[in-house]
Amino acid sequence: MAPGGNVEWLSLPAMDAPAVFAAVLDRHAGRFRAGPVDRTVPTGRRYLPGTMILETTWGTPTGWLEVHDVLLIGPWHHDSDRTQRYVRAPRDREAEGVLLRVFRCVHGFVDLEIDCEPAFDYGLSGGAWRHAGDGYGDAVCAADGSEPALRLRTDLRLGFEGPRARAETSLHAGESAFCALGWGDHPPPENFDEGQSRLAETRAYWHEWLRRGRFPDHAWQAYLQRSALTLKALTYAPTGAMVAAATTSLPETPGGERNWDYRFSWLRDSTFTLWGLHTLGFDREATDYFYFIVDRLGEGDDLQIMYGIDGRAQLDEATLDHLSGYEGAQPVRVGNDAWRQGQHDVWGVLLDSVRLHTSTGDRLDDRLWGLLTRQVEAALEHWRKPDRGIWEVRGEPKHFTSSKLFCWVAVERGARLARLRGDETTAERWEAAAEEIHADICEHGTDDRGVFVQHYDTDALDASLLLLTLVGFLPASDERVRATVLAIADELTVKGLVLRYRVEATDDGLDGEEGTFTICSFWLVSALAEIGEVERARVLCQKLLSYASPLLLYAEEIEPHSGRHLGNFPQAFTHLALINAVMHIVKADQVITEGVAEGPVAIGLSLEPEGPVTTGDQG
């Protein structure tokens, strides 16, 4: 939703489906604007606290208008007709497939307009409107060969101008109006009172959901809550999958070619996802996501780095050449060919996710053990081979240090689980292999300064190595860890914000620069806190929080000179790293408040869990 009241992006019926409104990628690819006539800049915008309801306030020369925009959530209604989409257990509430927009004039009068022009299949097909019923407030739009059809209801009088449905009216102080666009099984509200009732029901849902979380009484609580709400909104309830971002092809470089489709679920994100959700108390969502991963494991094929939100494996990439791109950045891509890449971190993040999940008290099903064993053996088979790394570079494969790190994670976590199952022979074999990988990384993955480097054939730095202490590879007190963290902080930053890598020193197969990666900057906060540089970590965290959008959301990158957000938006991985970083500072503040001697602070918030693991034998 743009500040001016236009729906810039909406994929229907699911987050990875073709967009019906794609104005963010081409001004002729669909629009749905509602707001004051001849005004484009609102006085203010915010989410209503504790909700995903967007409130926009408009001040005009003649009056003041408040607008509430919300995707409605209502009661589960498939009791007699089981939906085929759901794999996870349905809850009492579900998304209704309705965008509701409510208008209230609070002073004077405001001329209000509604302008809805869908452009189906990423702008390829215009729709045809027709009235439904006897009045002017109910209309349907459809395009040949495109699904779903749209239904627009309002208490204004709709008329049609080719592919556009329009309405205008003057609202005076105390008067209200609504419009609602529906595309699912739930029809839009028939009148304003019904709309208000369903809005209140959605508000109550978000308040109730957030109330289940555990948030510290801290000045940064609002950032944690907004991140939690954003992660929930990026979750596909039928399978438990979480998309990396809600958009495609928002450029990492203005006008550049680093434009990707992020509307899929990456296994790379799984450890942070489970840690973040469990830490904030959302165990049910963590469990749903965990079993989305387990389902992929049980399909028998080699584990991929990413999947569709419905679990599909094939995510073929195509370009949409009819779209001009965001501010002219081309190509516009749908699908993501990174699904074809072999990346050696997949086994580590899987085993780490299992370890994290079982440490929360959920039992590890014995039937999974054979599948997990296969993943550990795959890590052992591949760890000596080059790959394309955590950043999915499209250049030549290299011996990336972080890839070997996560192979170590896979084998080390597997050994722990084997020992807990009483399989001493397997545990000892895997422990010996983990020690071999560990020694290899320490020997070949560092430079003359003892700093860990991007891959074995370079002295270049890589921000992924901030994870060394977070996954328990070495203790935070190790001089090599400290040297690596400080080298990244001092040498791989622009105005204090962290780059993934220096593009001039990395063969990533692409041209152009990129912004600083916000997730990496939040990783630096966590790593600095781990090595005892708490004040430096706090200052950086405060700086990063100041870069949040007015709605406390983050894209993938930040342009360090202007503070402009770059890349797809909002970015789940960034919000997950924010949770980890903020909780590091919160914990450090608690430790200091309780009176700890000067020196390194034992934060105890690394991604390597310490709790007991429940296996099927012990369950």
Question: In terms of domains, do 46 and 142 share one?
Answer: yes
| End residue of a domain, out of 161, 181, 211 | 211
pLDDT at residue 87 in the model: 84
pLDDT tier, 80 (very low <50, low <70, confident <90, very high otherwise): low
CA of residue 167 relative to chain centroid, distance: 36
> How many structural domains does the chain have?
2
Closest CA to 580 of 572, 568, 592: 572
Give the residue-averaged pLDDT of 143-166: 93
pLDDT at 616: 39
DSSP letter for 615, please: B
Same domain, yes or no, for 206 and 260? no
197 plus 263 within the same structural domain: no
In this structure, of 46-55, 84-93, 149-158, 252-261, the range with the lowest mean pLDDT score is 84-93
**What is the DSSP-derived secondary structure letter of residue 269?**
G
Nearest to 559 by CA among 499, 618, 604, 615: 499
**Residue 614 falls within a domain, yes or no?**
no
Give the single-character DSSP code of 61.
S
The predicted structure's pLDDT at residue 361: 58
Same-domain status, 140 and 277: no
pLDDT tens-digit readout, 285-330: 999 998 998 888 877 678 888 999 999 999 999 999 999 999 999 9
> What is the structure's pLDDT at 489?
96
Compute the average pLDDT of residues 559-567: 93
Worst-scoring range by mean pLDDT, 84-88, 136-140, 411-415, 482-486? 84-88
Would you state the pLDDT for residue 360? 64
Whether 504 is in a domain gets the answer: yes
Top pLDDT among 525 and 271 is at: 525
Q: Are both 142 and 177 inside the same structural domain? A: yes
Per-chain mean pLDDT for the chain: 90
The encoded tokens of residue 199 equal 């809005």
Whether the CB-CB separation of 533 and 601 falls below 8 Å is answered with no
Q: Which of 211, 246, 269 is the last residue of a domain?
A: 211
Q: Is residue 17 included in any domain, yes or no?
A: yes
The residue with greater pLDDT, 392 or 333, is 333
Residue 268: pLDDT band by 50, 70, 90 thresholds?
confident
Last residue of a domain, which of 211, 232, 249? Answer: 211
Q: Are 540 and 524 in contact (CB under 8 A)?
A: yes
Structure confidence at residue 600 (pLDDT): 43
pLDDT at 260 over 60: yes
pLDDT of 389 reads: 82
What mean pLDDT is predicted for residues 445-473?
A: 93
Residues 47 and 195 in one domain: yes
Residue in 260, 267, 347 with CA at minimum distance from that of residue 305: 267
Q: Tally the C-alpha atoms within 13 A of residue 518's C-alpha that lie toward its C-beta.
A: 33
- The full length of the chain comes to 619
The confidence band for 81, taking pLDDT boundaries of 50, 70 and 90, is low
Residue 130: closest CA among 145, 115, 102, 149: 149
Considering the domain boundaries, does residue 372 fall inside one?
yes
pLDDT at 184 over 80: yes
Over residues 141-149, the mean pLDDT reads 88
pLDDT in tens, 269-289: 888 888 899 999 999 999 999
Give the whole-number percent of the chain exceeding pLDDT 70: 92
Per the CB < 8 A criterion, the answer to whether 121 and 109 are in contact is: no
Q: Decide if pLDDT at 367 tops 80.
A: no
For the chain, the straight-line distance linking the first and the last C-alpha, in angstroms and rounded, comes to 47
* Non-local CB neighbours of 121 within 8 Å, separated by 6+ positions: 18, 143, 146
Domain span at 15: 10-211
Confidence (pLDDT) at 34: 97
DSSP assignment of 432-490, as one string? HHHHHHHHHHHHHSB-TTS-B-SBTT-----GGGGHHHHTTSS-TT-HHHHHHHHHHHH
Whether 358 and 442 map to the same domain: the answer is: yes
CA dist., res. 167 & res. 161, Å (int):
11
| Residue 509's pLDDT band (cuts 50, 70, 90) | low
- Residue 613 maps to a domain: no
Residue 329 lies in a domain: yes
- Whether 472 and 355 map to the same domain: the answer is yes
Residue 609 lies in a domain: no
Percent of the chain at pLDDT > 90 equals 73
- What's the Cα-to-Cα distance from 179 to each of 35, 111, 193, rounded to whole Å? 11, 15, 12
Q: How much is the pLDDT for 599?
A: 43
What's this model's pTM, rounded to 2 decimal places? 0.92
Residue 413 burial by Cβ neighbours in a 10 Å radius (0-12, 13-18, 19+):
buried
Residue 482 to residue 166: CA distance in whole angstroms: 61
**Structure-token pair, residue 292:** 């989305």
Structure confidence at residue 603 as a pLDDT band (50, 70, 90): very low
CA distance 268 to 259: 19
Clarify whether residues 205 and 244 are in a common domain.
no
Mean pLDDT of 85-102: 90
Whichever domain contains 243, its CATH number is 1.50.10.10
- Beta-sheet pairing, 265-266 with 241-242: unpaired
167 and 248 share one domain: no
Cα Dmax for the chain: 80
* Same domain, residue pair 200 and 262: no
Q: Are residues 186 and 234 in the same domain?
A: no
What pLDDT is stored for residue 298 in this prediction? 75
Quick check: 14 pLDDT over 90? yes
Instruction: Please report whether residue 14 resides in a domain.
Output: yes
